[in-house]
């Protein structure tokens, strides 16, 4: 169930059965010469919709723009400040908590979001207490990075070995190819790509990773791989969601 395609009365009915909701969060940032700027949002959204279907869970609208300040030296990249993203999460969860939701399951497509999301969760727990929101003490948030699913990781290693890299990876590119087969891009990719993992500011990032990739070879991606990744992630995260709901 997509929240956007529900009426408020349907949400009211849903809340009588479940207080859980899935929130996809991605990013809008360069993904190398062939990766889509929306890669992280597309992956998170697609998988979240799959998990929502599989578990009959409500799925909130995707947070398309995340924390990608380090990518801003590449045109087309967008970002929220961490301090802004914390406020966005706070506003989202305040509204939803007041309505009765208590379990917030974020499906995340971008490593750069994780720290800020976790910081935001702490801020939210305290904020809800400040507001005397009923059942504030029952609210739980969890971030789930689809690309860290063990089954996803295993397949990525099998398919790409150390050419998976850590940004603009073939696995995430494959998933976008599966979702948007008409938007598969071709461009020459230098074979000498930095194997570093360091991330500091935006200018530094572009100096270190001139075409935007971090150790990856996205030319290995295929839509068929993408489908596999999709299915593995949906399966693994569906389990994780149900476990999250069932947990104390």
Enumerate residues 48-107 that contact a second copy by CB under 8 A. Answer: 60-62, 64-65, 67, 69-70, 72, 74-84, 86-88, 90-92, 95-96, 98-100
CA distance 244 to 248: 8
Contacts with a second copy in 107-146 (CB under 8 A)?
Answer: 112, 114-123, 125-126, 128-132, 136-141
240 binds a second copy (CB under 8 A): no
Nearer Cβ to a second copy (211/231) = 211
Beta carbon of residue 104, minimum distance to a second copy (angstroms, whole number): 10
CA distance 135 to 148: 31
Which helix (H) or strand (E) segment holds residue 188: the answer is none
User: Taking every pair of C-alpha atoms in the chain, what is the biggest distance, in angstroms?
Assistant: 56
Nearer Cβ to a second copy (180/240) = 180
Nearer Cβ to a second copy (22/96) = 96
Beta carbon of residue 174, minimum distance to a second copy (angstroms, whole number): 16
DSSP state letters, 36-85: -TTHHHHHHHHHHHHHHHHHT-EEPPPB---S-GGGTTSTT-B---HHHH
Nearest of 87, 139, 149, 86 to residue 113 by alpha carbon: 86
DSSP state letters, 99-117: HT--EEEEEE--GGGHHHH
Contacts with a second copy in 172-191 (CB under 8 A)?
Answer: 180, 183, 185, 187
Beta carbon of residue 59, minimum distance to a second copy (angstroms, whole number): 11
Residues in the interface with a second copy (CB under 8 A) total: 94
């Amino acid at each position: 169930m997509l929240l956007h395609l529900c009426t408020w009365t349907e949400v009211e009915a849903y809340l009588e059965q479940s207080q859980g909701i899935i929130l996809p969060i991605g990013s809008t940032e360069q993904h190398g010469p062939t990766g889509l700027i929306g890669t992280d949002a597309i992956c998170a959204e697609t998988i979240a919709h799959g998990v929502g279907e599989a578990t009959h869970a409500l799925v909130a609208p995707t947070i398309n723009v995340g924390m990608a300040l380090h990518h801003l030296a590449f045109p087309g990249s967008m970002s929220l400040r961490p301090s802004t993203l914390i406020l966005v999460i706070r506003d989202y969860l305040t509204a939803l908590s007041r309505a009765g939701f208590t379990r917030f399951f974020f499906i995340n497509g971008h490593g750069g979001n994780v720290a800020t999301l976790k910081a935001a969760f702490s801020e939210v727990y305290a904020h809800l207490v400040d507001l005397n929101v009923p059942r504030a003490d029952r609210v739980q948030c969890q971030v789930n990075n689809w690309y860290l699913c063990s089954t996803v990781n295993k397949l990525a290693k099998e398919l790409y070995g150390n050419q998976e890299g850590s940004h603009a990876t073939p696995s995430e590119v494959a998933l976008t190819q599966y979702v948007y087969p008409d938007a598969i891009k071709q461009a020459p990719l230098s074979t000498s790509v930095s194997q570093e993992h360091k991330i500091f500011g935006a200018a530094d990032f572009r100096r270190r990773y001139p075409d935007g990739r971090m150790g990856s070879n996205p030319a290995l991606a295929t839509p068929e791989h993408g489908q596999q990744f999709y299915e593995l992630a949906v399966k693994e995260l569906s389990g994780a969601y149900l476990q999250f709901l069932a947990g104390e």
